[in-house]
Amino acid sequence: MRFGKKGKLSPRYVGPYEILEQVGSVAYDSRLPNELSMIHTIFDVSILKKCKRDPVSILPLEGSKVKEDLSYEEVPVEILDCQVKKLRNKEVSSVKVLWRNNVL
């Protein structure tokens, strides 16, 4: 069992977490949150992944219109395509819509 989930849906990486010190030539001690207290804090370099933070991808919170329940409203701009697919005894219609997001 990995990090609370098992099977195919278990996350490959969790984090990012702060590295406290280098313990050996290939081992590092990290600071983990209380939820992961049952996991040993020393990891081999082969299972760590470098966290690359891109300052362009960080969005400011001041301009976002996120509600208290962490949802937002999207507005449709235009309908791009409509299709009706025939199955054995019924028809299923699908619509492709271009959405304008208020968050960005």
* Total residue length of the chain: 104
The pLDDT tens digits of the residues spanning 8-20 come to: 766 677 778 888 9
Q: What is the pLDDT of residue 61?
A: 57
The pLDDT tens digits of the residues spanning 15-44 come to: 788 889 999 899 999 998 887 788 888 999
Q: What is the pLDDT of residue 22?
A: 92
Q: What is the pLDDT of residue 6?
A: 67
The pLDDT tens digits of the residues spanning 44-93 come to: 998 888 877 776 666 665 666 666 777 777 888 899 999 999 988 999 99
pTM for this model (two decimals): 0.45
Smallest CA-to-CA distance from 5 within 45, 50, 35, 42 is with 35
In b/e form, how buried is each residue of 57-66, taking b as 16+ CB within 10 angstroms? eeeeeeeeee
Quick check: bond before 76 cis, omega within 30? Answer: no
